[in-house]
Structure 1
């Protein structure tokens, strides 16, 4: 169940995004499961449709959900388990970068350097 805390310092779109991500990661939302429409979820949560739309856009950009035109929005499928794990790690990293309010370009540079390093476990 998704709840938005209006008194939280975390913006409502981020609260929604992180709760949907958590629900997908824990299996509460299964691959292929249909999500509510933007308007319906906005009404249910008492937020503006733009808030839900932004959270959905960010989740879609992360590969967590997919929009199928007029058919709706669904939790994304990925047949490759390694890619699923990578997507989850990337989404968690992106959330951590946002939570820490770090610069996106700097975060990407750090990841790029880590990937190019022959051994990142001894840093």
Structure 2
């Protein structure tokens, strides 16, 4: 993976980084499952602030091209297996929070609450 930032470009560094990573994912240089450098490592390599890399990664996650897996790292997604937009995931998170609140209000045991969810999902 080769990334270069042009300090003379009117395009901000995060946008340059985002565009280059998008292109490399699109042309197969970066393939599904590839792990990207950590935010700090890439920032050090490019001589930019970690927040700049973090913003590019975050926007690529929002685009569905990357997935962050906490301490495991940031990976290129597989467009064949990744489903739903970040909006869908955010809506699911809100629904789960509302369900958890209702479960607590009903005094239901968390294990039973998970059984109810599994049954509803058919798993």
Displacement of 1:77: 1.4
Deviations 1:11-59 (A, max 9, x none): 0000000000000000000000000000000000010000000000000
2:33 is matched with 32
The TM-score normalised by the length of structure 2 is 0.64
Instruction: Give 3-state SS (helix, strand or coil) of 1:50's partner.
Output: helix
1:38-97 per-position Cα deviation (integer Å, ceiling 9, x unaligned): 0000000010000000000000000000001110000011326xx7xxxxxxxxxxxxxx
Superposed CA RMSD: 1.5
Structure 2 distance, partners of 1:5, 1:78, is 30
Q: Compute the TM-score of the two structures, normalised by the length of structure 1.
A: 0.64
Write out aligned runs for 1:92-111 (5 A).
none
- Larger Rg over CA atoms: 2
Take 2:52 and 2:79, find their aligned partners in 1: how far apart are those partners? 26
Q: State the aligned residue count.
A: 82
